[in-house]
Amino acid sequence: MRNRILVGIGLVAILVLLFKFCEFKKSDSSSLENNTNLIQQQIVNVGKLVVTEGHFAEVLTYKDQDTYFGGMIAFDKKALIVVNADVTVAYDMHQMKYDINEKNKTITILNIPTAEIKISPDIQFYDVNQSKLNPFTGDDYNKINKSVKVSLAKKIEKSTLKSNAKNRLISELSKMLILANSMGWKLQYQGNVIDKESDFSLKN
């Protein structure tokens, strides 16, 4: 009789331990799922359009000449061109690709979108001189537009606009780093663990 009681107590203890273990596993799994959902939601919040704006101005002179009879007769046309351009450098974070590994508690950034540069020039013509035999045509305006954009592109490269835009991008990405650290997860990019902002090596 005593042995039966002991066996019964033992079985009850085992059942209690099994129940507690299952509850623990269920709680741990639920916590991991909640963390994963939270991470996904926060990444969605980061996923926005990061835009940096700049303004550039310059003055150009356009000249062209048509000659006849071996250069004996020439017809000139020229204009003073004043350009004011608004420039934006944007990163569409909705295009960012990432992977969430629940088992290893790791967020891996697979791809960061490249910068999209948009130039919107306002071109004004002054001191326009032309002749009936060499007037301004659509080809001239196309050449001027192309020349303006090439000149502006060089100015943009020499300015701090692109580096400022990249800094803003890194600031947005750092929100993912803060989130990962706060939850005990790791953030990876290009095969490296990201521990601080300067670890983001962005080539674009």
Q: Are strands 192-193 and 186-189 parallel, antiparallel or unpaired?
A: antiparallel
Q: Is the pTM value of this prediction over 0.75?
A: no
Q: Could you tell me the residue ranges of all domains in the chain?
A: 1-46, 49-199
Is residue 120 within 8 A of residue 87, CB to CB? The reply is yes
Is residue 78 within 8 A of residue 134, CB to CB? The reply is no
Q: Where are the alpha helices (DSSP H) in the chain?
A: 2-46, 138-158, 161-182
pLDDT of residue 159: 93
Nearest to residue 66, comparing CAs of 137, 124, 125, 123? 137
Which residue has 């947005």 as its token pair? 172
Q: How far is CA 149 from CA 87, 115, 123, 204, in A?
A: 11, 17, 11, 20
Residue 158 φ/ψ region, left for φ over 0, alpha for ψ in the -120 to 50 degree band, beta for the rest: alpha
Is residue 93 within 8 A of residue 38, CB to CB? The reply is no
Nearest to residue 150, comparing CAs of 127, 177, 190, 121? 121
pLDDT of residue 188: 92
Q: Residue 186 belongs to what H/E stretch?
A: strand 186-189
pLDDT of residue 200: 83
Greatest extent of the chain over all pairs of C-alpha atoms, in Å: 131
138-158 and 161-182 helices, crossing angle to 10°: 50
What are the pLDDT tens digits along the chain (204 aa)?
Answer: 544 544 444 444 444 444 444 443 444 445 555 667 777 776 666 657 788 999 999 898 888 777 666 666 777 888 899 999 999 999 988 888 889 888 888 999 999 888 999 999 999 988 888 877 788 888 888 988 888 888 999 999 999 999 999 998 988 888 888 888 888 889 999 888 999 888 887 655
Nearest to residue 35, comparing CAs of 109, 96, 107? 107
